[in-house]
């Protein structure tokens, strides 16, 4: 009898152990299913994301100085210039183990002071190595060593629909627990050239539906394997929000500066502290639109028309003439004066540009070498 009970007890024990093992295996399977390429990449990249807090100094004059009645009574007394400290915030990415940090010019380019917070809680005063308002790229440096950093990827081989992960400091949330906010989306489009804003020119931007909100500017956009493919920069706003001056956050249309452009700008900022666009073309141009084309019976209703051209200038030597209508630069379509500037500012002194234009009813292409401003 005792042996029967012993066998029964042993069988029950084995059964319970088997159930526990099955439960443990099921739990392990569930846990493993939670670990995706996205969660692994987030864990790897997060330590290289920083929060940035800046102070800017803005100058302004008394609004009454523009009123003729006040000026009549008080004259030059109203011309006094006042200074005001403005605080701002944004995001950044560590791009080298010795403390170089990438962010937007509109985040830190005009900063009097800049404080960088790491994910381990350490705070550093950052200096501006260089900033380029035209491309909206700024390079900071902190005095630290052996830092985690994000590796550069390649923005030229991106596929529409591939995963994107956006990191940043929306609304200053980084300050709560020294951790970046993470959102996930896909590459929605590439080579998006946007309208200039505050003399910043956004060419060949990446579009993503990963949520990007105020404070995300300067933060990294990475692919599924953790490579930097862009820098979060702009969010689209609805027409109503723009009309009433509202900022309602992400509506699923965000734009990032592509990393291949960033690589070039970063090297220039490291070496010179600025981007040298000290070249000239000798062109004076105006936008061609539908009304302009109808008025002058032109062959095209887009582009820019040359209304003045300096003799012996790069444009003159290239064979361009007054009344030529420029419709593309290096194969990039020119719609107006702003897009012309956007693409010409992608170049540097000494570059050769393929200029496609319409003369009469004939389309032609000439090579124009950009020369240093005289």
- DSSP track, 6-52: HHHHHHHHHHHHHHHHHHHHHHHHHHHHH--HHHHHHHHHGGGEEEE
Token pair in block for residue 336: 């107006």
What's residue 374's pLDDT? 80
- Rounded average pLDDT over 353-365: 95
Check if 276 is active-site.
no
Q: Could you report the per-residue pLDDT of 170-192, keeping only the tens digit for each? A: 999 998 999 999 999 999 999 99
Measured between alpha carbons, how far is residue 148 from residues 102, 107, 121, 165 in Å?
14, 22, 14, 18
Contact assessment for residue 92 and residue 116, using Cβ atoms and an 8 Å cutoff: yes
At residue 240 the predicted structure's pLDDT band, cuts being 50, 70 and 90, is: very low
Percent of the chain with pLDDT over 90: 73
- Flag whether pLDDT at 11 surpasses 60: no
pLDDT of 27 above 80 = no
**Which is more confidently placed, 104 or 59?**
104
Residue with tokens 């609004």: 63
Report pLDDT for 90.
96
d(CA 155, CA 298): 38
Q: Which domains does the chain have, with CATH numbers?
A: 45-141 (2.40.10.10), 163-272 (2.40.10.10), 279-372 (2.30.42.10)
For residue 26, pLDDT beyond 60: no
The fraction of the chain above a pLDDT of 70, given in percent, is: 82
Q: What is the mean pLDDT of residues 109-136?
A: 97
- Is position 106 annotated as part of the catalytic site? yes
DSSP 8-state secondary structure symbol assigned to residue 75: G
Over range 36-40, report the average pLDDT: 95
Q: Is 209 a catalytic residue?
A: no
Helix-strand-coil split of the chain, %, nearest 5: 30, 35, 35
Give the model's pLDDT for residue 324.
96
What confidence score (pLDDT) does residue 244 get? 43
Average pLDDT for the chain: 89
- The residue among 83 and 150 whose pLDDT is bigger is 150
> Cα separation of 213 and 234, whole Å?
9
Please pick, among 155, 217, 328, 342, the residue that the annotation labels catalytic: 217
**pTM here?**
0.83
Tokens 């009469």, located at residue: 360
Residue 8 has pLDDT above 90, yes or no: no
Considering only residues 163 and 73, tell me which one the structure prediction assigns the higher pLDDT: 163
305-318 confidence digits (pLDDT tens): 999 999 999 999 99
pLDDT computed for residue 299 by the predictor: 83
Give the ranges where 99-251 is alpha helix by DSSP (H).
105-108, 174-177, 239-243
The residue from 105, 106, 155, 250 that is catalytic is 106
pLDDT at 7 over 90: no
Can you tell me the distance from the alpha carbon of 140 to that of 101, in angstroms, rounded to the nearest whole number? 5
Q: Which residue is associated with the tokens 């393929």?
A: 354
């Amino acid at each position: 009898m005792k042996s029967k009970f012993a066998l029964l007890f042993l069988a029950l024990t084995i059964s319970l152990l088997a159930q526990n093992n099955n439960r443990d295996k099921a739990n392990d399977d569930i846990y493993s299913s939670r670990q995706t390429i996205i969660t692994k990449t987030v864990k790897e990249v997060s330590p290289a994301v920083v929060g940035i807090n800046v102070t800017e100094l803005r100058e302004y004059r008394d609004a009454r100085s523009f009123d003729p009645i006040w000026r009549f009574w008080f004259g030059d007394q109203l011309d006094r210039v006042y200074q005001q400290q403005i605080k701002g915030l944004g995001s950044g990415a560590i791009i080298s183990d010795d403390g170089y940090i990438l962010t937007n010019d509109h985040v830190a380019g005009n900063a009097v002071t800049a404080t960088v917070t790491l994910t381990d809680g350490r705070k550093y005063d950052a200096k501006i190595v260089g900033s380029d308002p035209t491309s909206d790229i700024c390079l900071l440096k902190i005095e630290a060593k052996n830092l985690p950093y994000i590796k550069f990827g390649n923005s030229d081989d991106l596929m529409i629909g591939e995963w994107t992960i956006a990191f940043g400091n929306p609304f200053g949330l980084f300050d709560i627990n020294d951790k970046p906010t993470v959102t996930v989306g896909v590459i929605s489009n590439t080579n998006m050239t946007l309208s200039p804003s505050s003399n910043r020119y956004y060419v060949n931007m990446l579009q993503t539906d990963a949520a990007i909100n105020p404070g995300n500017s300067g933060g990294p956009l990475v692919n599924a394997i953790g490579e930097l493919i862009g820098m979060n920069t702009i969010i689209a706003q609805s027409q109503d929000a723009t009309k009433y001056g509202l900022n309602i956050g992400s509506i699923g249309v965000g734009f990032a500066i592509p990393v291949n452009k960033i690589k070039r700008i970063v090297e220039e900022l490291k070496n010179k502290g600025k981007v040298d666009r000290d070249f000239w073309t000798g062109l004076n141009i105006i936008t061609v639109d539908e009304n302009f084309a109808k008025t002058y019976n032109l062959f095209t209703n887009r582009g820019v028309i040359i209304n003045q051209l300096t003799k012996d200038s790069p444009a003159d030597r290239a064979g361009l003439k007054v009344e030529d209508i420029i419709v593309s630069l290096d194969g990039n379509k020119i719609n107006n004066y702003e897009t012309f500037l956007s693409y010409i500012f992608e170049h540097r002194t000494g570059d050769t540009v393929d200029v496609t234009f319409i003369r009469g009813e004939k389309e032609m292409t000439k090579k124009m070498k950009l020369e240093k401003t005289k």
